[in-house]
Structure 1
């Protein structure tokens, strides 16, 4: 349907989608979401031509659903690994029908022991099982034989590790934010005519205005071809922070902001490349808070489901939305300049390039937005690696920070509940370590509960005349009851006598108690489970514990001796007709 609700017209009858497989049967062209085409030449595979053509055909069929060149390159590289493996065999197969069970067994054995190897096996399996020659038989069974799931190689940060990473990002971003805020105030005052013309601040405001409009401070090209900063003395130097850094983030400062976003919201690194600037509106009924709508790209969810919207509120310094407010402020000049140079551009994560001409020329990544003038967008893998080297982290922080946030919050983010449990929570060593205490507490609680429903009195051979008789036991001293009344007596239900340390049970009680246990078991078959558990389960457990202490044979013999008085008392006791 179109936006206005009218049914979309059908394509012409002779319309045909262009096949990704080239006319030569050896080249496959993959077009990504940005419209860029990338060609993969299967004649480069070190196998006979019939096998090259078969793999190209299968690759082309699978590529129809791809919208990413990264996905295409990953599949291509793993297909190359498979082709190289086949070329190393003594008798290299001429085509896929020459792939035997023995070959697949060796292929599996080579890769099944590593995480990367399992990923290669999975990709090649999905590719080959499209071919009719793998529709049945021993070779197909070997191809589809399951292998253990790969254990995630990344773990969440411990508390000290996370603090180190987040503190490094906070310090770098805060320094950049304070620098840009100070220069923005000066620029605003100059544009409002509040600065004296010719004064130091007035001259600096004029330079800042030039910087905001062009992306750089005024420079002169020397005869040697090197650029020279015109107002070096006024600016205090020719370094980044004294020149274009006054209004723009550097790539490393933008990376620090992305680390903070990942720690706060668990966003994927790829989502920063094309994240639109959040839209803001006042919160309902609130004049001091702002709620932002943030579009987050879910990179792997498929066509039509690439973006989700998150509502994030800035209600104060410690609220999640405060970081959004700060990000909008420090990127404002970059976003304004990008919109002037390339109308319609409004991406949040914008930084100023160190060498715009060189960087734009080197930009080869068709998945990420191209630079606009002196500006770049998003966070590249190289940015992440350089940032971790600058802060001596021993590895890119993004995957581990994201995993830390997901496991810390205990709920899914941009993924399903099953993925959250299977990939993030259960395999994580920090979660496993923290859960040991929970399991121990649960075991202790279960033990306490079990101990609380055992027979708490004493077994004796004969009654004591000094004890007071009750329906279920003899009581030594009701004034020291665990369930006292305001008047000082015992307020326990007669069934609770068996849980009291003052209770004494002798053989004369055994027939009645054995009969009572039998009656409680019978009630379980006629009452709702929840009702029986709430009213009778603990009493039944105490009677079972008492039976174990007396002995099963003696207990059965006592049941046979139960008389009419025992039956009557048990009946009244179960009905609740006997007062304590």
Structure 2
């Protein structure tokens, strides 16, 4: 497929038109990033509004080199703070930055973050997800059973197992014509079913004619929903799925393993752009079963296309209901009466036909990757985490107990044996003195809710990152370490372990950090005040 774009219709001066055409050609060249028909056309409709905006200004830039930060900032402010606004912003900036004449101040303005609201696409809840899968399964299963039934009729007719001129024989003959041409026998000038076959087929509607062997566009959309619910792929990747290869010997063993080749268009480089997945059909609940059923339901379409000289490797193929069905969509690919793939529009049309609102393909993908597979589908881990996982309300809700458990773990870790206070040379203004150290922030410690005064024991100051220990505190802490060691011989081991052991271990860690010489000097300089403070601490005088 090819597309052409007339830059002469853009409402900017001719020099600007020529510059945009040259830049656009570079982006659409192989490796330029917009080198598919679909992508180039999508960006055309993002770039065009920029030229329309420039034309509305009193001071129209004659060319790219005359574009100013005022032009750019005005354009930026005109865009809605939503994903569509960001897409326009990023598309135009990426295009213009290819021009070396673009002024540096404008480049710096383009580098500023575009603030926009997070996308509103949310994962489905468990019941919604189940309901959509049931609806899709109902649609596709009905079509699959219909095709199976008529395949058996066609096979029987071709094997000569039906009585000539009987109703079943006429149906079989019509199916044979359908399988070879894409239509049952018709009067060509009126495109209606021939009178001879009409009673046997039961009528001339799609259900009585071509649907006997082929999927419709909506039924293919339901199939795509089922594939997305298994694999977490986006609609473009599903649409472009090629026929999977079956690993040798697996089909003969009754458990076929399919190798799907997936393309990730946004990844640079040939190697990083493609990946493969192996899916095993080991039963009704296995991920490979939907691939087996997709191959079965679309086999007649591919066989017919091959007979008509329009062979295709696409997995998803369907028969048009009307001559122009779906042809206005960006992803439309056709061969005669047949279409290939799926898009958001067909997903939306299927959803409406079963009483749902909007295409479920995007939300299905997010639901599967974020809540079920819990790993990137076609993104990097960073994109998966920041764009898909973190903004998802269900993930945030599920994270509450995890965060709470983490906070408890943090408190538990504070009671362990590592000295966590900061060693400094001298006290600073604003630090408050405690019984064992100075405190730099008593309202935001790890042992009390934020904004509330710390109510922890002064023994925990040695486990607090907000505590500051200067050389003036060394004698008191050395004396505390000695006193705790003396307690060990006079209290029950269980009591000592529960109340004093962690504090003693942290002080031992401090002793090791300061060194034996400093520690011994501290012990030698313990004052009466230090002894009184430690005595009151151990007797609970400072406890609230």
Question: TM-score, structure 1 length as denominator?
Answer: 0.70
CA distance in 1: counterparts of 2:48 and 2:222, whole angstroms: 37
Q: 1:221 to 1:51 in 2, by over 3 A?
A: closer
Aligned to 1:384: 347
> Which deviates more from structure 2 when the two are superposed, residues 419-428 or residues 318-327?
419-428
What are the superposed Cα offsets for residues 163-211 of structure 1, whole Å, 9 maximum, x if unpaired?
2221110110111111111222222233233334344434433332222
What are the superposed Cα offsets for residues 265-291 of structure 1, whole Å, 9 maximum, x if unpaired?
012211233322212135679923110
What are the superposed Cα offsets for residues 31-59 of structure 1, whole Å, 9 maximum, x if unpaired?
xxx5x2x2222221212222222322332
CA distance in 2: counterparts of 1:274 and 1:515, whole angstroms: 66
Gaps of 5+ in 1: 1-33, 456-468, 476-493, 506-511, 527-550, 560-580
Gaps of 5+ in 2: 418-455, 458-485, 516-528, 538-544
SS in 2 for 1:166: helix
CA distance in 1: counterparts of 2:530 and 2:131, whole angstroms: 63
Q: 1:284 to 1:376 in 2, by over 3 A?
A: closer
Given that 2:15 and 2:63 are in contact with CA atoms closer than 8 Å, whether structure 1 keeps it comes out as: yes
Question: Does residue 474 of structure 1 match 2:496?
Answer: no
Q: 1:415 aligns with which of 367, 374, 379?
A: 379
Aligned to 2:288: 321
CA RMSD in angstroms, aligned pairs only: 3.5
CA distance in 2: counterparts of 1:513 and 1:90, whole angstroms: 73
Aligned to 2:338: 375
What are the superposed Cα offsets for residues 295-353 of structure 1, whole Å, 9 maximum, x if unpaired?
22323335635532211001111111111111111111111111221264232101111
Question: TM-score, structure 2 length as denominator?
Answer: 0.74
Q: 1:395 to 1:473 in 2, by over 3 A?
A: farther
Q: 1:59 aligns with which of 20, 24, 49?
A: 24
What are the superposed Cα offsets for residues 453-510 of structure 1, whole Å, 9 maximum, x if unpaired?
999xxxxxxxxxxxxx9944434xxxxxxxxxxxxxxxxxx4x54245xx9x9xxxxx
Q: 2:391 aligns with which of 427, 436, 447?
A: 427
Aligned to 1:566: none
Question: Does residue 177 of structure 1 match 2:144?
Answer: yes
Q: 1:218 to 1:140 in 2, by over 3 A?
A: closer
| Larger radius of gyration between Structure 1 and Structure 2 | 1
Q: 1:257 aligns with which of 195, 211, 223?
A: 223
Q: 1:516 to 1:143 in 2, by over 3 A?
A: closer
> Which deviates more from structure 2 when the two are superposed, residues 253-262 or residues 76-85?
76-85
> For residues 131-142 of structure 1, what are the structure 2 equivalents within 5 Å?
131-136=99-104, 138-142=105-109
Q: 1:151 aligns with which of 93, 118, 121?
A: 118
Q: 1:553 to 1:418 in 2, by over 3 A?
A: farther
Aligned to 1:19: none
Q: 1:498 to 1:62 in 2, by over 3 A?
A: same
CA distance in 1: counterparts of 2:249 and 2:360, whole angstroms: 34
Given that 2:246 and 2:258 are in contact with CA atoms closer than 8 Å, whether structure 1 keeps it comes out as: yes
Aligned to 1:119: 87
